[in-house]
Amino acid sequence: MKMFIRIVILAVIVSVFGSTNAQLIYLPDTVDIPQVLVTANRDMRNVADIPGRVTVIDSKTIDELPVQNVDEILKYVANVYVNRSWGIFSQNSSVTMRGLDASARVLVLLDGVPLNKSAGGSINWQLVPINSIKQIEVIKGPASAIYGNNAMGGVINVITKNPKKPFQGEAAILGGTYNTLGGYLNLSGTNLNNDKGFMWSLNSFYRQGDGYFLNPEEIRDSIDAKAFLKEYNFAGKLGYSFSKNHKIEVDGRYYSDSRGQGRKVYEELGDHMSVNTTYLRANYKGVFNTTIVNALAFYQLENEFKQTESISSNSGKYKLTERSSIKDDIGLWINATTYLNDKNILTYGLDLKQGSANVKTTYKTSTDVLTYEGILDFYGVFIQDELKFVDDKLIVVAGARMDFAKYHKGKLVVENPTSNTGFINNIDQEFESNNWSSFSPKIAMTYKLSKKNSVYISYSKGFMPPKLDDLSKSGKIRKGFKIANPELGPEYLTNYEVGATLKYFDKLTIEPSVYLSQGKDFQYFVGTGDSIDTGGDAPKPIYQRQNVSSVEIIGFEISSNFILNKQLRFSANYTFNSSKIKKFSSPDSEKKDITGKYLIEVPKHMAFMGLGWNNKYFHSTLTYNYISSQWYDDENTISIDAYYTLDLQLSKEFIEKIAVSLIIQNILDTEYIDRKGYLSPGRFITAEIKYRF
């Protein structure tokens, strides 16, 4: 491990458009229990005191949702778009918010540890199994004033469970469509007594599936293969409480998988990708008089292997490529909260993080070898003040953060090139270092009209840093050939927002909000005007990621939750986003002007409805999700069709120890395709038997 420097249905049961008085997606029988959130201010707060849209999804809700993966839980949160087009067979899932594309524009945390990799910004959502989650907290809108990197669209914090009994556990087996098989075993315990003692947990998870053909039957050929899956996950946690005021916690995770990509020529596994992820975390929390201190150290290492093979339909030429990569992130985050008095809370801290990448691509059917590497250092300091006025009815939050970053040790090496890569000569290029900084302010306030009704207004800025893949990497991409841009800078978003929470007779909750987001220096692939021969049927255009675009997003969302009675609950939400490019400056004079065009892969409309029914025989959750059409290309000439799904979960518990459940996703077997033209898995059914002890 390197020394640094080198040292988080929507309501199936309740509508979840978070608010100044945020709700659990599941609404318990007692509706006035105060809720506590840790993400918005990096320490525990009553959600009623947070001037912004927040959502808390508890473990009971998670157990009752018709989902297979952690990211799918977020489909029920208003204005969160989850793109997992291959279901459980997807290697990556894109989770975006508030009319933005690209998952790197949302900061994802696991027990406070950032999962966004400096190399590419993607998230390994398979790292934590569903059954080990205590709750998920979602903060909408820019949160860079307190979190810095990637928190441009919002923050999602996935928080895992801690034991409550001396010894407890659960074991389950599952089976389903496409010969899917799996299971998990969780063990935990604690001897905590008088706020002193140990706690521990061990978790394991396994799943495999034969998969399905990604291409429609009418266009399949001899090299089409099933997108198979095999994955397993191990995790352990150990904590010790010295007293009520001083606690430490350490945990580690290891995840490994192998997933087919739907094509096979000669190799036994065909196109496939394998990922091994190691995650380590250490956390200290201490209370010193009126100050609470949190110190979090973390390390994430990802080893990835990808094999790709193809055969030209024209020339019959066969290509086999292997890519191996080592990507890691290490950091130390320290923050403190000081209660100056009962109406003034000050939060401040220091964040340090370093990410690196070393990626090697070997062309097995030619002599080409490409290697790129680089390091990104991040330093951030922040301060935030929370003030209460007018008998605590008015709460004002103001804060700012300064981030500094340095890109260095960037390098590109090309050995023995041929037309397969497009390079003419050997290259051993070291890139110049690149430094940049970002200032992220925020001011927000909420006013409690009554005990249950409130309004809020906020102004905030967020940013997304450049990724190492764009700073250092050159090579073939799907639409052409990409060259590195070591001078690439961050992109920024300014957000203006108003919203309200309105409750009627403890039965109906309505939560509307509207916002305007203005982005600048957005990163886009632009053509350089040149092209190269990469061994295909025609020369490929050359692209480079550059800060060339300004964006404007006008958005609206509304959520409602209606409690019919103790057995029936109905919820619904609707989201509208108009995400347009306001200005685009390309160095390529032949590049079409896309000013006024919509961002790609951003649905303009999304809708959700959920019905939860509890009775003495079983529990059921029925949900409906609608995703409108999206643009596939920058010029808005090709679109991805709109689609909807109907999902169901049925569960029954016996003698408080045995539980059975049935999940049917996409009941109507709706067929829809992703941006690559690949099919969804269609109707997907799993059954699970669980034993608690």
Mean pLDDT by 10 residues, the chain (693 residues): 31 28 34 61 79 89 92 94 94 92 93 92 88 94 95 95 94 97 97 93 97 92 94 97 96 96 95 96 96 97 95 86 96 96 95 97 94 97 96 95 97 91 89 96 95 94 95 85 93 97 89 96 84 72 90 95 89 96 75 85 95 90 96 90 96 90 96 87 96 94
Q: Is pTM beyond 0.85 here?
A: yes
What is the model's pLDDT at position 496? 98
Tell me the domain boundaries of the chain: 36-692
What is the model's pLDDT at position 590? 54
Q: Residue 483's closest CA among 564, 523, 423? A: 423
List residues bridging with 253 in a β-sheet. Answer: 235, 279
| Fold for the domain defined by 36-692 | Maltoporin; Chain A (2.40.170)
Are the CB atoms for 611 and 568 separated by under 8 Å?
yes
Placement of tokens 């003692």 in the chain:
197
Which pairing describes strands 540-563 and 480-483: parallel, antiparallel, or unpaired?
Answer: parallel
Are the CB atoms for 308 and 296 separated by under 8 Å?
no
- In 24-45, which positions are buried (b, 16+ CB within 10 angstroms) versus exposed (e)? bbbbeeeeeeebebbbbbbbeb
Separation of alpha carbons 261 and 281, rounded Å: 32
Terminus-to-terminus CA distance in the chain, angstroms?
38
What is the model's pLDDT at position 530? 80
Phi and psi torsions of 154, nearest 5°: 155, -170
Separation of alpha carbons 602 and 392, rounded Å: 39
- What ranges make up the beta strands (E) of 80-153? 80-83, 94-97, 107-110, 113-114, 133-140
What is the model's pLDDT at position 35? 64
SS (H, E, C) 266-329: CCCCCCEEEEEEEEEEEEEEEEECCEEEEEEEEEEEEEEEEEEEEECCCCCCEEEEEEEEEEEE
